[in-house]
Amino acid sequence: MRTVLVSGGVISGIGKGIIASSAGLLLKTKGLRVTAIKIDPYLNIDAGTLGPLEHGECFVLADGGECDLDLGNYERYLGIQLTRDSNITTGKIYNLVLQKERRGDYLGKTVQVVPHITDAIQEHIERVSKIPVDDSGEEPDICIIELGGTVGDIESMPFIEALNQYRHKVGKENFFCINVTYVPVIHGEEKTKPTQHAIKQFRSAGLAPDLIACRCEHKIEETTVQKIARSCQVDYEQVMTVWDMDTIYQVPLILRDQGLLEVLTRGLRLDKLDLSPSRTEKGAELWELWKDTVVPKQHWDPVHIVLVGKYTALDDSYLSVRKSLEHAAMRCRRRLNLVSVDSEHLEESTLHKDPTKYHRAWNAVCEAQGLVVPGGFSARGVEGMIRTAQWARERKIPYLGLCLGMQVAVIEAARNLCHLEGATSEEFDAQAEHRVCVFMPEGSKEQLGGTMRLGTRPTHFVEGSEWSNLRALYHGASIVYERHRHRYEVNPDYVEELEKAGLNFIGKDDTGRRMEIVELKDHPFFVGLQSHPELTSRVLVPSPAVLGFVAASAGCLKQIIDETRAQQIVLNGSGDATHF
């Protein structure tokens, strides 16, 4: 097992995850099997209880693990399926060690950060890096480990110690360090000092760089690269620059051009791996497909999508939704023009407080070719989402409701089609007369962490739903699998009335009592899903639901459905689309 460790210096949030994913993708194009682990040195056990406005979205894995959004990047880039253990947090490791201590496993011993926490980290890495993550069912050849935060932070110290011990154990020749730094430009001058300091810091932590990846806004000068190599005592070939690209999917292209694969091959003796010709061929095919898909076509027409949500202050809050829209737009051969609107700005209260904001928000909604309402929790901004669903339904604008977005579409129909005054979800008003969305019986209101309906669950298309556009995009399947993360669901007591009013619940869970998909018939595309289909969208295999929505918004739904019928995409056992 070979390991590539990606850690960062200078500042956080400069795209370590993208560089790590790109390195993984390039290794895959050589026919290698790649897995990934993300280390987050915070105390939360998982990302389920973190606010999206602070940390970005909580990514949900097939097994229901609630984790850091970088795991989503790995799944999207590498076409793999990770498990909850692929995300390590300080809290998770301490929890494990403390449970053992209480059980008496260390009886008589003092339990310490070194060796008990550091051993637990290594054992975890060793175990998880061997779990098969693709259709081959085989152990991966390489594990990419991304260490969150910046080297030098107090909280990442135990992980760095553990990783140093781990490198010693597996051998230097099986361990490759990519150090990501930042090169700012001050008054037109490219500054290398932060990188020099960061590399000093890395070295004193024991993590000497095999490769320095410099993030920068624009391509940096040759002379700057030479200066960094010289002052950090590495070869020129070991310094690469990653400048801002039109799309992040082009990062593998520029890293490959700069020789990343050669440096990795040398550093990890990859030529010693005896790969079958079919694996090498598959890798080469993947590269061709990737190159072809991610190069932006300037002549493509734009498709104007408006996302109406409550966490719009931070783009990362809806990262997977954004990515899935990008994937779908690429398939539709359109340039995605995505605008976010804070749903609260669409409400009457904003009109009184700040009319400019209100009118600006509505102006954006009016200009949308398609409206998407993503997931969310609690009452703030929900009225604005309900009004968005109404606008889309009445004006026949394509609508995609994801989780909460489906629930608000149902609330809207209850109010305006069934005339159930004040209809809402129990989540927003537990005393309301018409609670058209209710708390799920198996949920827990006391314990918030990890107690939602989480992970991959099946949805059965009902008989007579053959007319459905969405179903056609799922290749006419009768059962589909998507990931979930919710506490509330459509109240079964209102389903009959809602169906009479024209809402078609065409997808249900195993029991038939839980509504999973709603679609309108006399509408270009109006779909709500209780699941989060955006989570399994891949660069080369867009989510059927998001694809349908973008295609309808761009006016090419029929063409995309015809293309889908002609294609063969197999669904694997867990229900995620089989990846390239």
Among all residues, which ones are annotated catalytic? 403, 532, 534
Residue with nearest beta carbon to ligand GLN? 375
251: nearest Cα among 221, 214, 276, 280: 214
Smaller CB separation from ligand GLN, 142 or 423: 423
Query: Count of residues binding ligand GLN (CB under 6 A)?
Result: 10
How crowded is residue 186: how many other Cβ atoms within 10 Å of its Cβ?
Answer: 7
CB of 375 to ligand GLN, least distance (A): 3
Pick from 487, 508, 514, 579: which binds ligand GLN (CB under 6 A)? 487
Residue 418 in the binding site for ligand GLN (CB under 6 A)? no
Q: Which two tokens stand for residue 553?
A: 């918004």
Smaller CB separation from ligand GLN, 74 or 377: 377
Smaller CB separation from ligand GLN, 211 or 404: 404
CB of 487 to ligand GLN, least distance (A): 4
Pick from 2, 33, 167, 485: which binds ligand GLN (CB under 6 A)? 485
CB of 167 to ligand GLN, least distance (A): 39
CB of 420 to ligand GLN, least distance (A): 19
Measured CA to CA, the distance from residue 267 to residue 191 in angstroms comes to 28
Smaller CB separation from ligand GLN, 205 or 382: 382
CB of 440 to ligand GLN, least distance (A): 8
Q: 278: phi > 0 → left, psi -120 to 50 → alpha, else beta; which? A: alpha
Pick from 404, 423, 539, 556: which binds ligand GLN (CB under 6 A)? 404
Is residue 456 within 8 A of residue 530, CB to CB? The reply is no
DSSP string, 516-556: EEEE-SSSS-EEEESS-GGGG--SSS--HHHHHHHHHHHT-
Residue 375 in the binding site for ligand GLN (CB under 6 A)? yes
Binding piece for ligand GLN, criterion CB under 6 A, among 46-54, 172-180, 192-200, 483-491 = 483-491
CB of 377 to ligand GLN, least distance (A): 4
DSSP helix/strand/coil, 575: coil
Binding piece for ligand GLN, criterion CB under 6 A, among 38-46, 267-275, 330-338, 369-377 = 369-377
Pick from 318, 377, 391, 494: which binds ligand GLN (CB under 6 A)? 377
Measured CA to CA, the distance from residue 100 to residue 229 in angstroms comes to 46
| Residue 72: CA count within 13 A, CB half-sphere | 26
Q: Which two tokens stand for residue 344?
A: 């609260």
Smaller CB separation from ligand GLN, 485 or 508: 485
Is residue 354 within 8 A of residue 566, CB to CB? The reply is no
User: How many whole angstroms from its chain centre is CA 545?
Assistant: 16
- Segment 244 to 283, residues that bind ligand GLN, using CB under 6 A: none
275: nearest Cα among 103, 484, 28, 51: 28
35: nearest Cα among 1, 63, 69, 11: 1
CB of 452 to ligand GLN, least distance (A): 6
Pick from 488, 505, 525, 526: which binds ligand GLN (CB under 6 A)? 488
**Alpha-carbon separation of residue 399 from 3, 49, 304 (angstroms):** 44, 29, 13
For residues 300 to 319, the per-residue mask of contacts with ligand GLN, x marking binding by CB under 6 A and - elsewhere, is --------------------
CB of 232 to ligand GLN, least distance (A): 44
**Alpha-carbon separation of residue 441 from 269, 399, 452 (angstroms):** 54, 29, 11
User: How many whole angstroms from its chain centre is CA 124?
Assistant: 23
Smaller CB separation from ligand GLN, 66 or 190: 66
How crowded is residue 281: how many other Cβ atoms within 10 Å of its Cβ?
Answer: 12
Q: DSSP state, 577?
A: B
Pick from 17, 41, 158, 376: which binds ligand GLN (CB under 6 A)? 376
Smaller CB separation from ligand GLN, 91 or 443: 443
CB of 486 to ligand GLN, least distance (A): 3
**Cα–Cα–Cα angle for 240, 241, 242, nearest 5°?**
125
562, amino acid identity: D
Binding piece for ligand GLN, criterion CB under 6 A, among 200-208, 210-218, 312-320, 480-488 = 480-488
Pick from 18, 403, 423, 490: which binds ligand GLN (CB under 6 A)? 403
| Radius of gyration from C-alpha coordinates of the chain | 25
Smaller CB separation from ligand GLN, 415 or 485: 485
Smaller CB separation from ligand GLN, 377 or 549: 377
Residue 401 in the binding site for ligand GLN (CB under 6 A)? no
Binding piece for ligand GLN, criterion CB under 6 A, among 32-40, 291-299, 462-470, 481-489 = 481-489
For residues 348 to 367, the per-residue mask of contacts with ligand GLN, x marking binding by CB under 6 A and - elsewhere, is --------------------
Smaller CB separation from ligand GLN, 182 or 481: 481
Smaller CB separation from ligand GLN, 404 or 547: 404
Measured CA to CA, the distance from residue 27 to residue 23 in angstroms comes to 6
Measured CA to CA, the distance from residue 342 to residue 349 in angstroms comes to 13
**Cα–Cα–Cα angle for 412, 473, 475, nearest 5°?**
135
CB of 236 to ligand GLN, least distance (A): 48
34: nearest Cα among 85, 82, 88, 84: 82
Residue 514 in the binding site for ligand GLN (CB under 6 A)? no
DSSP helix/strand/coil, 323: helix
Pick from 134, 190, 347, 427: which binds ligand GLN (CB under 6 A)? 427
Q: How buried is residue 562: exposed, middle or buried, by Cβ count under 10 Å (0-12/13-18/19+)?
A: exposed
Contact residues: ligand GLN, CB under 6 A: 375-377, 403-404, 427, 485-488
